[in-house]
Amino acid sequence: MKFRILAIAATVAIISTPALAGHCPKDMKAIDEALSKNPTLSSEQMAEVTKLRADGEAAHKAGKHGDSLAALEKAMAILNVSH
């Protein structure tokens, strides 16, 4: 029974990783588009969004898609951009 549960968990993890990987570029593009419209942000917010966008891209390239999504979602929240 434990083996079956572990096998199912491993399968779900393997299947979900490519889905997460495909989502990161879409979020980066949404952030870039929002930034191109010169949003009304404080300098601190702009710096935070820029850092989160860069951190998200770096995590994506490193294969850490969960970390990438977390950073990109924070940036999108500051920009008030939805998926």
Assign 82 a pLDDT band (cuts: 50, 70, 90).
confident
| Cα–Cα distance measured from residue 30 to residue 82, given in angstroms and rounded to the nearest whole number | 9
Task: Enumerate residues 6+ apart whose C-beta is below 8 A from 5.
Answer: none
42 by DSSP, 3-state: which? coil
pLDDT tens digits, 20-74: 456 789 999 999 999 999 999 999 999 999 999 999 999 999 999 899 999 999 9
| Cα–Cα distance measured from residue 27 to residue 82, given in angstroms and rounded to the nearest whole number | 9
Domain residue ranges in the chain: 2-79
CATH of domain 2-79: 1.20.1270
Q: Residues in the chain, how many?
A: 83
Whole-prediction pTM value? 0.73
pLDDT of residue 1: 62
pLDDT tens digits, 66-80: 999 999 999 999 999
Sign of CA dihedral 41, 43, 44, 47: positive
